[in-house]
Amino acid sequence: MSSNIDVMTVNGFGEEWSAYDQSTADHAELERIFDEYFERFPWQELPPQAVGFDLGCGSGRWAKFVAHRVGHLHCVDASPAALEVAQRNLAQNSNCEFHCASVDQMPILDGTMDFGYSLGVLHHVPDTAAGIRSCVAKLKPGAPFLVYLYYALDNKPWWFRALWRVSDIARQVISRLPFGLRNLTTTLIAVGCYWPLSRLAWLVEQLGLPVESIPLAAYRNRSFYCMQTDALDRFGTRLEQRFTANQIRQMMESAGLERVVFASSGFWSAVGFRKAAS
């Protein structure tokens, strides 16, 4: 039995992706976000017909941008409901294989993958460092691994972090509501917080002023559907952990990755390469 899993969190994501299956999401918007996540991913270093994995594939929204670039993609998720959504969204991609498994139970042989990635998932498992180690174990020496983890707001002012602490108290309450009420509450948050603050940031940017310190400025050019999905993701998830850039680097290097580099965008996505056996 898996030890590195929070069942209530997994069930919550199954409900989220069933409600927001991304089938109506704007393709161009998803592609822009994908490009931000994969900014430092070394596509040019992958072998022809590369084989890799998406750990925590969710709805498959990122896998569909990866599948046509590689030979075979293992889509792994601990939620049967989420995996069903991913199978529908990726039905046209015959090179995708689906596995219902947690990070420490992936049915993939160690040392066989040409690449791997996990976006917005490993901060939702009890032991993030162990989750990264489980992923790295599947890679061939020299293969890249991309991970995105929630950052600890260590590059933000004190008042920004204080505001987050208040929001985190709200998350701990909202995430325990029945799904219908949870979804309604987070939709109201998207309407009352995400939309006005993001549009304020958009206006400030049009005036040529910096927007980095405006909460939710990252959503200034994003759709309401994206805000609605992410509000549920952010406030509807029971288990959440956050890490500084140094902590992420340390976990990646301790797992056996080297040449770790971070994206230049405003969130902590990073790529490392599995060390060769000594």
What whole-number distance in Å separates Cα of residue 31 and Cα of residue 242?
25
What whole-number distance in Å separates Cα of residue 49 and Cα of residue 42?
15
Q: What angle do CA 213, 214, 217 make, to 5 degrees?
A: 115
What whole-number distance in Å separates Cα of residue 6 and Cα of residue 92?
31
Tell me: the pLDDT tens digits for 42-54? 999 999 999 999 9
The secondary element (H helix, E strand) that includes residue 106 is none
User: What's the pLDDT at 216?
Assistant: 93
Strand partners, 34: none
User: What's the pLDDT at 278?
Assistant: 59
By three-state DSSP, how is residue 180 classified?
helix
Tell me: the pLDDT tens digits for 180-214? 999 999 999 999 999 999 999 999 999 999 998 89
What whole-number distance in Å separates Cα of residue 102 and Cα of residue 122?
11
Is the CATH number of domain 7-152+242-274 3.40.50.150?
yes
Look up residue 252 and give its amino acid.
Answer: M
Task: Count the neighbouring beta carbons within 10 Å of the beta carbon of residue 193.
Answer: 16
By three-state DSSP, how is residue 191 classified?
helix
For residue 33, give every residue at least 6 positions away whose Cβ sits within 8 Å of its Cβ, in sequence order, or none: 226
What whole-number distance in Å separates Cα of residue 260 and Cα of residue 233?
27
User: What's the pLDDT at 3?
Assistant: 82
Which candidate, 93, 116, 52, places its Cα nearest to that of 256?
A: 116
Look up residue 100 and give its amino acid.
Answer: C
pLDDT in tens, the chain (278 residues): 568 999 999 999 999 999 999 999 999 999 999 999 999 999 999 999 999 999 999 999 999 999 999 999 999 999 999 999 999 999 999 999 999 999 999 999 999 999 999 999 999 999 999 999 999 999 999 999 999 999 888 888 889 899 999 999 999 999 999 999 999 999 999 999 999 999 999 999 999 999 988 999 999 999 999 999 999 999 999 999 999 999 999 999 999 999 999 988 766 899 999 998 75
User: What's the pLDDT at 276?
Assistant: 87
User: What's the pLDDT at 1?
Assistant: 53
Domain spans in the chain, listed from the N-terminal domain onward = 7-152+242-274, 158-235
